[in-house]
Amino acid sequence: MKSKPNFVFQIPLTFFITHWFLLAFHGSAESSTYIVHMDKSLFPNVFTTHRYWFESTIDSIKSATLGDSSEQSPKLVYSYNHAMFGFSAVLSSEELEAVKNSHGFVAAYPDRSATIDTTHTFEFLSLDSSSGLWHASNFGEDVIVGVIDSGVWPESESFKDDGMTKKIPERWKGTCEEGQEFNTSMCNFKLIGARYFNKGVIAANSNVSVSMNSARDTEGHGTHTSSTVAGNYVSGASFFGYAKGVARGIAPRARLAMYKVVWEEGRVASDVLAGMDQAIADGVDVISISMGFDGVPLYEDPIAIASFAAMEKGVLVSSSAGNEGPDLGTLHNGIPWILTVAAGTIDRTFGGTLVLGNGQTIIGWTLFPANALVENLPLIYNKNLSACNSVKLLSTVATEGIILCDSLSDHELMLKQRRFVNEASLLGAVFISDSPLLNESRNFISPSVVISVQDAEHVIKYAKSHKKPTASIKFQQTFVGTKPAPAAASYTSRGPSPSYHGVLKPDIMAPGSHVLAAFNPHLRAASIGTNVILPNDYSFLSGTSMACPHASGVSALLKAAHPQWSAAAIRSALVTTASPLDNTQNPIRDYGYHPSQYASPLAIGAGQINPNKALDPGLIYDATPQDYVNLLCALKYTQKQILTITRSTSYNCSKPSFDLNYPSFIVFYNNKTRSVVHKFRRTVTNVGDDAASYRAKVTQPSAFVVTVSPESLAFRYKNEKLNYDVIIKYRKYEKENISFGDLVWIEDGGAHSVRSPIVVAPSGIV
């Protein structure tokens, strides 16, 4: 195993940060926020509301402690009347004492940083509710997830087996394979299997020397994805103070099996096939694979081939869409019989509080990995320096202060600014940008923060109007509840699928940006400057590789709750219950383009995964292996090509059909043709508890008209199947563009709504 001496990380870091401490100016003691409880029974009748009472209390201590002419004053933050009775306020120690002597005072204590659950995504997905999928599935107990990746770091606390049942399911046929720095004792009741496959890599280069000939992870990727799927509970996890709290996987009671197929020396299809083959043989219930193969037909795609066999056995395969966005048609794993997952942002940001000398506070974005003192330093803003594009100028003029750089919309230019500021060894920097790409970056190697263009106006005004402007920056802050969220990440690959564009891909979107999960503790997690490398047990990673295991974990939960469901049924439940809206109840935005632009299903599929609704979808679109073969036959694949996928001659081509029973619709058109674009036939199965009636509601794609027949469906009993048709026609001639809408089957009484996205696009994008 490659190792790095710890002192390399510790000594330079201490020296580097101490350098800032000695140069920083220490201001006087600051006010703090306190939570104050008041006695509701002593509420004075002179006030009409509790807030007036609290405001009066604050006003009464202003003159008592500071005088009416003072610029400083206590500040009411919140008033409370339900969860508690009282208020929170920014108070000095003297003001706090005055509050304690006020009428009705009960208790006061300092405001505390909230303990955020570190992945947080389970909370963002509402899995932490008192009912729902977590509880219905018993947290995924005894479901086995096979992860196809770069291996695992078995010593991570995420893979401890505390709380796991001590009996592994009898269907499990796998093993814990010994290898370099990996023995069987490293598996347990959580990590029940670990195997490695590198014969393909060795065969491709007979002179290769495999650096870690075992299932041990030397890249960190597999450790991160597997702990995201089903990692155990770990207290105190964080990324250098950011997102501090309790880490856990999406299915924390599921079992894990690692199949290492990704190597520093290469990654080849043969090894991937071997890993997936073994996972199926071992008896896994879900396969999570955060990789893909570009530019290959289905019959040459190892993931397509292996996942067909998995699907036959009821194993759902969850895969990543790729990170080649925002261009269209960059998606991989557009395989009709698997789940393809796009990546979105979450409602959590990491700060960066910029405090100006006049007391004004601005929240910015940063992941600088240290609690550096950048306090009461000169704020430098002038034409010669503000471009931040000259290391020489910055080094000679701005080393003793915080530089305010010019606003930039270009992401690459912003990265250059960061590099120049770091090379100049500045004590602090403020960058200005509204680019959403910056919120996907974690490369903060100098003490700096990014603020919005709107906030920058206040900073510039302050800097210009004061002879000696000053500022401070506070780091290691975490903010939850950011709006809007989610948004389609800029990097997530878009459809249509090059391997087969007749099925809408991706299927859904899941959290993929700044996901905190277990990591190889001997690798770089962050840096300070260019010479201080920081390892960590947990790290933030972004990508569809991070979104995929979220969907894999939810699939494991659904498998535990509905063991009889097919892979297609689970995928259908995820698709038809996904939400196209963000937390402002507006359509999800696309950060790959302008931040205000709404995302199309080619970026987000049906929308953000909604685990609790997927538990009870009402209706499902199921599909059999023969249904997929009918599609392959319609594609005019040869018998041999089909056989490479199906491995069996028992399937036939008597009913070739492009009309796969899929829970979404996509059509390509040519403006020269104004006839019927397409007709679909769909079959839905009632998985509700009893008889139910549904009515169709259609949101029409622009320039097209969608008709549904029949417009209502009446199910007499559970598991009954009914058919309906969808016809998409031109409505009027318009400039070629991508338009989208949806079909929602709404149950009478409102218990269920079953939504399918509709995309109509010009044939030229294929």
Say if residues 490 and 597 touch (Cβ distance below 8 Å): no
Nearest CA to 213 among 476, 460, 373, 1?
Answer: 1
Give the C-alpha separation, 759 to 495, whole Å.
Answer: 11
**Residue 619: which H helix or E strand, with range?**
strand 619-620
Amino acid 288 reads S
Counting every residue, how long is the chain? Answer: 766
Say if residues 682 and 710 touch (Cβ distance below 8 Å): no
From 156, 158, 221, 285, active-site residue = 221
Nearest CA to 16 among 490, 526, 379?
Answer: 526
Q: How many CB atoms lie within 10 A of CB 343?
A: 34
Measured in whole angstroms, the distance separating CA 500 from the mean position of its chain's CA atoms is 26
Give me the DSSP letters along 660-695: ---SSEEEEE-TT--S--EEEEEEEEE-SSS-EEEE
Burial level of 70, CB count in 10 A (0-12/13-18/19+)?
exposed
Q: Is cis: bond before 496, omega within 30 of 0? A: yes
Q: Is 221 a catalytic residue?
A: yes
Strands (E), 307-446: 316-320, 339-344, 348-356, 361-363, 374-380, 402-407, 428-432
Say if residues 738 and 602 touch (Cβ distance below 8 Å): yes
From 149, 347, 582, 616, active-site residue = 149
Three-state DSSP string of 738-764: CEEEEEEEEECCCCCEEEEEEEEEEHH
Measured in whole angstroms, the distance separating CA 209 from the mean position of its chain's CA atoms is 36
Give the C-alpha separation, 529 to 447, whole Å.
Answer: 9
Give the C-alpha separation, 509 to 344, whole Å.
Answer: 6
Tokens 């990673």: give the residue.
541
From 545, 572, 579, 664, active-site residue = 545
| Local structure of residue 252 (DSSP, 8 states) | T
Give the C-alpha separation, 678 to 705, whole Å.
Answer: 11
Nearest CA to 610 among 429, 760, 414, 752?
Answer: 752
Three-state DSSP string of 101-134: CCCCEEEEEECCCCCCCCCCHHHHCCCCCCCCHH
Nearest CA to 173 among 153, 154, 193?
Answer: 193
Q: How many CB atoms lie within 10 A of CB 204?
A: 13
Torsion of CA 300, 304, 305, 307, to 10 degrees: 170
Give the C-alpha separation, 159 to 156, whole Å.
Answer: 6
Burial level of 93, CB count in 10 A (0-12/13-18/19+)?
exposed
Three-state DSSP string of 130-188: CCCHHHHCHHHCCCEEEEEECCECCCCHHHCCCCCCCCCCCCCCCCECCECCECHHHCC
**Residue 238: which H helix or E strand, with range?**
strand 234-239
Q: Is 545 a catalytic residue?
A: yes
Pairing of strands 692-699, 739-747: antiparallel
Radius of gyration over every alpha carbon of the chain, rounded to an integer in angstroms? 29
Active site residues per annotation: 149, 221, 545
